[in-house]
């Protein structure tokens, strides 16, 4: 799973980089960087999700992204022609938020796995 989390983190970072020229780039870069941070922790330091603070931050992030999906998801999705979806900014934003939400949700099992608690780094003596 480490490789999958790392690849998804890179995808989120590429998405964040593509938002550089967007008029509301600070919003969208942060929307994509926050899941990238969660995925980086899942890949390289999964024991942080087993702590109370880690769980709270993860669930606040998931709830925030879910609210973003709810707010930005196109209400008339079925009426969009397949050939026109990339021309509508609202649809692209809704899909981008949904991807960020889904990728972040992939880290939720780490908050409840018992084996994650044993992954704390050992002290070097």
Q: What is the pLDDT of residues 60-109, one digit of tens each?
A: 999 999 999 998 887 765 555 555 666 777 778 888 899 999 999 999 88
Number of alpha carbons in the 13 Å side-chain half-sphere of residue 79: 4
Angle between helices 52-72 and 25-44 (to 10 degrees): 140
d(CA 119, CA 13) in angstroms, rounded, equals: 26
d(CA 41, CA 19) in angstroms, rounded, equals: 23
3-state secondary structure of 19: coil
Q: Would the pTM count as exceeding 0.85? A: no
Locate 61 and state its tokens.
Answer: 């992030």
């Amino acid at each position: 799973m480490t490789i999958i989390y790392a690849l998804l983190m890179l995808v989120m970072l590429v998405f964040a980089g593509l938002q550089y020229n967007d008029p509301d780039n600070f919003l969208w870069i942060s929307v994509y960087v926050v899941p990238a941070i969660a995925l980086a922790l899942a890949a390289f330091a999964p024991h942080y999700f087993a702590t109370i603070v880690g769980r709270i931050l993860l669930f606040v992030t998931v709830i925030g992204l879910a609210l973003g999906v709810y707010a930005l998801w196109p209400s008339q999705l079925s009426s969009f022609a397949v050939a026109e979806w990339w021309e509508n900014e609202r649809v692209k934003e809704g899909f981008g938020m949904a991807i960020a939400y889904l990728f972040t949700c992939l880290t939720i099992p780490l908050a409840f796995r018992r084996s994650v608690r044993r992954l704390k780094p050992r002290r070097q003596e």
